[in-house]
Structure 1
Amino acid sequence: MICEPLDRQKKIYVAGHCGLVGSALVRCLKKEGFAQIITKTHEELDLTRQAEVEAFFAEEKPDYVLLAAAKVGGIHANDTYPADFIMKNLQIECNVIDAAYKNQVKKLLFLGSSCIYPRECPQPIREEYLLSGYLEKTNEAYALAKIAGLKMCAFYNQQYHTHYISVMPCNLYGVNDNFALDNSHVLPALIRKFHEAKQKGELAVTVWGSGTPLREFLNVDDLADACLYLMDHYDGNEFFNVGSGKEVSILELAELVKEVTGYPGRIVLDPAKPDGTPRKVTDISRISETGWKPKIDLEKGIRQTYEWFCKKYETGAFTER
């Protein structure tokens, strides 16, 4: 559906600007010449508190909103604190989306996750598979909250004729990723493991599992580009998978990280460790039909991320607390 591009002179609020996705959105908006980018830290604005959110929207009156704020965590955190994950994420979504409506925000984009889909989902995953089966139990609370946010946008569009868009990205990586040893995702974890193994002169790096599972990765700057593209070009009531459309095995990924980091040793697989889902890839036909496509290939993206990681690592930014 054809729509007017966003006015670069209007106010745009990025919720969650300190995170991986939010910081990429801010970079993208600055590159595109947006003149009034509004950001607030958690200390300045607690999005779980309705009164604070309503007061902020009433005062600032943003024209557009990018909702990237969320309570996130790894498998252990999701499984241990499910009440926190569903409560805080629902609070953030309800408060921001409703305040946007009450204050006549012209357009809003909600960031979800591909974990919204059923655990035993056909591959590649199409948007219409939503709610067609049981969710993965370990992150069910987070997934349910994200499904609620997606549906809330759709129902506000239906009832109030708002212009809210939802996107569901695949596995993300890039600048400002989480490289903590205890709870980072596979790609940043591999980058750190190979980097430290090279520094210490270790002869081998152990990679969990058989190395055969297939995964899809998208650079976070490509996601930001997709979000702005949809805000500029789309005005319907569908939601979108956003991914690279390309798969790589965990072993192939490890070999690529090994090459990028310049690690000279061997890769050792540990099949005693879990593989997880054998394959997880999104179908990106719907967003492709709008005219958007990813620009950053995996090797280039990993090189950019590794350069940023090395600069931060030298400052002691990733010292475990």
Structure 2
Amino acid sequence: MTKPKIGITMGDAAGIGPEIIVKALLDEQVYQQSRPFVIGDESILQRAVQVTGANVSLHKITEVSEAQFEHGTIDFIDLNLLSADLSFGQVSPEAGNAAFEYLKKTIELAKAGEIQAICTAPLNKEALQKGGHMYPGHTEILAELTETTDYSMMLSSPKLKVIHLTTHQGLLDAISSINPERTYTVLELAHRTLTKAGFKKPRIAVCGINPHAGENGLFGNGEEEEKLIPAIEKAQAKGWDVSGPHPADTLFFRAVRGDFDIVVACYHDQGHVPIKVLGLEEGVNITVGLKGGIIRTSVDHGTAFDIAGKNIADSRSMLAAIESAVELAPKE
């Protein structure tokens, strides 16, 4: 089976992204499973090699077909947007703009069929917006540039998978925006994604919005009955293994125990907190439902400006993100 080509974006160059990319690509197993290359800036990548002390050579390419895909050599496309004197750990409009341009270029490669998956290092939302790109994060950029309307953020770790009804919204706005149509769309995305990944009949559990999932109307204003239950019943009518709404305070324990394959979270922190408590090092962020079947995975942590340039950043989440990209990518 042909190994998938994976385009790795450098993210915000003032953060730890370049370092963890270099560290991850020191792992020979990455090259045994995939054909990775970097989209970023030569000067920043050279600096990351110096910071990490990595014994690798850099190979600049202009086309994917020029890549060597050999362990010990990092192939990269240079967009030449930044210089090596970019300050570590500082919000930079230039770095924010560059992070956007890296992703834009990689999406173009994916849409053209030149790569089978995208793996992204973290960007900084403030820098992104100061650089002129008014998006909450990677997911929304990917959705717009692929003209995708029905998508969701999925978080994955060895013991827990979570998919979200809403993400980068304030809590009141998030709850207001949930409706049966959105709930059903996310149930369908979860079912389709896990089925393609080899789950014969994915067990999907839906979190309640209110404490104790509303306790039969005792808490809240009937949000579960209005926004969640119609979609759950529709999915059950199709023969899918969907249950809920469940109280969130016990559901994640049950999912980690193995009772369910994936949890549907209603808002950002409801889904993110359990994944991150289990360990940032192995968490992966996946954008589900992109048009054209484009696969995108990412680390499940931020730019870590406070430790950038110090060679102490942990690359395990980047390795996990590459591994997830390999698992989900279509094979040539």
Q: Does TM, scored on the shorter chain, surpass 0.5?
A: no
TM-score with structure 2 setting the length: 0.34
TM-score with structure 1 setting the length: 0.35
